[in-house]
């Protein structure tokens, strides 16, 4: 027998939610086969079989919250699994009554565990069951529920009936035979929470929040409760960056096989400003300030299940092309739900770009335990005074810095944001400052 356990899932992750099982009780699996998918507050991960055999039992169901190290199922391995699969695959039409009796009563000299004996004994002969392909768990459940296997529809491509098929059929269709055990009384319906829930002209739909969405909600509220958060604003003239991109984007794409976007400019500018103002790259640990001498920049990405912040490692050592490739790769992994925990851990500062959705101005919330986050916004043509006599329409972007006032003074936050502005408006300086 082999236990199916919730694996270690990385730093600070102690529990998860079973999103879906990919196997049913009685299914044969090989070592390495995917058994289920777990959802954590950071990523989804697959749990694979550590040994070959039959799924003996699934102890926890989809939607259950489980802890790291918890046993959530068992795989029957070795001779027990082999004997069960061999018996289950034998054609029922070839068994004689004597053979059936012999199989259901094993010799005293060869004692078997109750579960194995039950699995290998054939079900009573019933019309429609003779040529039906079914898992041992399905046959057992059919006997308990008084269901003819031949009447149970299967969703399996080869027509094999599983326990879930039997359960659905038994609950959805009446049978002429009594159930093996009385069903518990149905729970009383919940009282409506709002008048709209009982008004047929005002329909509502309730959906359970995903674990990631619950965690996002909790963390954002905690960030506002635990930090003295303020936001300061400035605006950037994007003329110079747009000019560089216009002149260089084709050669850049041809040489590095990646587009020259805005994020590499902003990442470089942030690194340059963090070097000038180290407190913005720090964090609070008890009564100490931890100044980080490395620059792992988190890039907020909108994924299907909610916002995630993968990290570009050692951004100060990367060139523009390396930053763009790293961000593009992380964004693809986020959209495909393929991010690993290592992709999300250890950032020192975060950049979030609401401008891609059309945001003109916002106040980003800190990504704790970080003490600073930069918000980018939509580029919009606005009239700008060039001097006392001239006005021009320039592509302008509002930028916002939310910061923890416990260790960052207002003047320091303002000067940090001004430094970012100066570096962005003079892109060539990024090669020197960062």
Active-site positions read 405, 409
Q: Which residues contact 60 (CB under 8 A, 6 or more apart)?
A: 18, 66, 70, 72, 73
Residue ranges with strand state E in 171-239: 229-237
Rounded to whole angstroms, the Cα distance separating 358 from 245 reads 21
Where are any strands of DSSP class E within 153-312?
A: 229-237, 282-285, 288-291, 297-299, 301-303, 306-308, 311-312
* Tokens at 58, concatenated: 């699934």
Non-local CB neighbours of 371 within 8 Å, separated by 6+ positions? 227, 279, 280, 282, 283, 284, 403, 404, 406, 407, 408
* Residue 98, φ and ψ in degrees, nearest 5: -65, -40
Beta carbons within 10 angstroms of residue 389's beta carbon: 6
Element (H, E) at 219: helix 211-226
């Amino acid at each position: 027998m082999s236990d199916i356990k919730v694996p270690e899932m990385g730093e600070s992750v102690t529990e998860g939610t079973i999103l879906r099982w990919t196997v049913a009780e009685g299914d044969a699996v090989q070592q390495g086969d995917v058994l289920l998918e777990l959802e954590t507050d950071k990523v989804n991960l697959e749990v694979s079989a550590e040994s070959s055999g039959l799924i003996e039992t699934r102890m926890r169901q989809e939607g259950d919250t489980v802890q790291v190290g918890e046993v959530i199922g068992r795989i029957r391995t070795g001779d027990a699994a082999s004997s069960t699969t061999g018996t289950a695959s034998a054609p029922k039409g070839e068994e004689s009554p004597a053979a059936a009796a012999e199989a259901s009563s094993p010799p005293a000299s060869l004692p078997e565990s109750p579960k194995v004996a039950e699995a290998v004994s054939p079900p009573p002969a019933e019309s429609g069951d003779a040529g039906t392909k079914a898992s041992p768990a399905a046959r057992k459940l059919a006997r308990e529920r008084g269901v003819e296997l031949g009447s149970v529809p299967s969703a399996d491509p080869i027509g094999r009936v599983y326990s879930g098929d039997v359960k659905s059929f038994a609950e959805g269709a009446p049978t002429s035979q009594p159930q093996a055990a009385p069903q518990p009384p149905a729970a009383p319906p919940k009282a409506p929470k709002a008048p709209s829930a009982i008004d047929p002209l005002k329909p509502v739909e309730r959906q359970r929040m995903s674990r990631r969405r619950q965690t996002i909600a909790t963390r954002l509220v905690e960030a506002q409760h635990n930090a003295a958060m303020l936001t300061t604003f400035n605006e950037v003239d994007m003329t110079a960056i747009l000019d560089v991109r216009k002149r260089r984007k084709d050669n850049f794409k041809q040489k590095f096989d990646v587009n020259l976007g805005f994020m590499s400019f902003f990442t470089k500018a942030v690194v340059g400003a963090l070097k000038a103002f180290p407190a913005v790259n720090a964090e609070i640990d008890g009564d100490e300030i931890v100044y980080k001498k490395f620059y792992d920049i988190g890039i907020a990405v909108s994924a299907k299940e909610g916002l995630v912040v993968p990290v570009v490692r050692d951004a100060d050592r990367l060139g523009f092309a390396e930053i763009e490739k790293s961000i593009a790769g992380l964004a693809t992994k986020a959209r495909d739900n393929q991010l690993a925990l290592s992709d999300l851990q250890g950032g020192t500062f975060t950049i979030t770009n609401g401008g891609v959705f059309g945001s003109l101005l916002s106040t980003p919330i800190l990504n704790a335990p970080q003490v600073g986050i930069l918000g980018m916004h939509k580029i919009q043509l606005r009239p700008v005074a060039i001097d006392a006599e001239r006005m021009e329409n320039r592509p302008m972007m509002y930028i916002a810095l939310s910061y923890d006032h416990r260790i960052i003074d207002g003047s320091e936050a303002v000067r940090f944001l001004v430094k970012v502005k100066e570096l962005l408006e003079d892109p060539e300086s990024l090669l020197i400052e960062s």
